[in-house]
């Protein structure tokens, strides 16, 4: 089952929380990505399709737009919604929408704002419960806490996501600064190191394990480069999800 997670709406409009618009979806991609039965679409792919459709900055989506996103990504289901921070609590209200039937199902979570990792874990459980998985599949699925898969540091996570947003906009210098800050805050944050490396690599260039350039071409297609990065990201997520010693 493939799942495309759209950017969430910052319902309060607070600039300080804008990083969560893509940050919570990104965490869900990595958390749900542990599953043996659900394959989240890489965030870069979802954002690319939304830009092509001219809806990357939208905070609301009509049925036709949702159908177009699901068809182009493609995905069996879409996940979208909003978050609100108020009184020290963070509430996330989402909808799982089945492609084809268009049937929407609500999923929500509310905890202290400082418990964002627990909120993501709760949302992951709720989302998987709405994706036609059997009780045995859900019970036996890989489901480590997202703090173990990505990072347990709120500050590192915020720097990482702000850096990732800059990277997606092509602002590599700002992205590198923020991603480096994430690795300094959490030296074990593997995904931050991967994106920091990407921010420092010129386009159309592939760097070998020893840091030397092993491929460089003016004809190297951007789509191929992004596909390569997506494979690296998936490999990192897979490695992080494996039990130690296996």
Per-residue pLDDT of the chain (246 residues; tens, 9 = 90+): 999 999 999 998 889 999 999 999 999 999 999 999 999 999 989 999 999 999 998 989 999 999 999 999 999 999 999 999 999 999 999 999 999 999 999 999 999 998 999 999 999 999 999 998 998 999 999 999 999 999 999 999 999 999 999 998 889 889 999 999 999 999 999 889 889 888 877 655 555 555 555 555 555 455 655 655 665 666 566 655 555 444
Crossing angle for the helix pair 20-32 and 116-129, nearest 10 degrees? Answer: 60
Interacting residues of 16 by C-beta distance below 8 A, sequence separation 6+: none
Q: Are 61 and 82 in contact (CB under 8 A)?
A: no
pLDDT at site 246: 47
pLDDT at site 173: 86
Tell me which residue of 91, 97, 7 sits closest to 48, measured CA to CA. Answer: 7
Q: For 108-186, where are the alpha helices, taking DSSP H only? A: 116-129, 135-140, 146-149, 154-168, 172-185
3-class secondary-structure state, position 217:
coil
β-pair partners for 4: 78
The pTM of this model reads 0.79
What is the token pair recorded at 154? 């709120």
Angle (CA) 102-106-112 rounded to 5° is 150
pLDDT at site 222: 59
* Dist. CA 162–CA 177, nearest whole Å: 10
Q: Tokens 């989402």 correspond to what residue?
A: 94
Give the H/E segment covering residue 105.
strand 104-112
Q: Tokens 């702000």 correspond to what residue?
A: 162
Q: Tokens 């890989």 correspond to what residue?
A: 142
Interacting residues of 227 by C-beta distance below 8 A, sequence separation 6+: none
Q: Tokens 């929407």 correspond to what residue?
A: 104
pLDDT at site 202: 63
Instruction: State the first-to-last Cα distance of the chain, in angstroms, to the nearest integer.
Output: 26
**Considering all CA atoms of the chain, what is the largest pairwise distance in Å, rounded to the nearest integer?**
53
């Amino acid at each position: 089952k493939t799942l495309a997670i759209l950017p969430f709406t910052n319902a309060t409009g607070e600039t300080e929380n804008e990083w969560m618009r893509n940050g919570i979806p990104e965490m869900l991609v990595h958390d749900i990505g542990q599953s043996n039965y659900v394959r989240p679409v890489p965030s870069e792919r979802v954002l690319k399709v939304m830009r092509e459709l001219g809806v990357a900055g939208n905070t609301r989506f009509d049925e036709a737009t949702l159908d177009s996103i699901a068809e182009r990504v493609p995905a069996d289901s879409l996940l979208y919604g909003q978050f609100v921070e108020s009184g020290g609590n963070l509430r996330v209200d989402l909808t799982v929408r089945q492609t084809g039937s268009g049937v929407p199902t609500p999923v929500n979570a509310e905890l202290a704002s400082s418990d964002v990792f627990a909120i993501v874990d709760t949302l992951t459980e709720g989302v998987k419960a709405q994706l036609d998985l059997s009780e045995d599949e859900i019970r036996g699925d890989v489901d480590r806490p997202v703090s173990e898969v990505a990072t347990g540091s709120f500050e590192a996570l915020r720097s990482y996501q702000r850096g990732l947003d800059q990277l997606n906009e092509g602002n590599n210098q700002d992205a590198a600064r923020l991603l480096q800050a994430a690795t300094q805050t959490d030296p074990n944050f593997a995904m931050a190191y991967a994106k920091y490396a990407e921010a420092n690599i010129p386009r159309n260039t592939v760097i070998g394990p020893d840091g030397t350039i092993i491929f460089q071409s003016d004809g190297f297609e951007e789509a191929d480069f992004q596909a390569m990065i997506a494979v690296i990201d998936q490999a990192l997520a897979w490695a992080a999800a494996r039990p130690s010693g296996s």
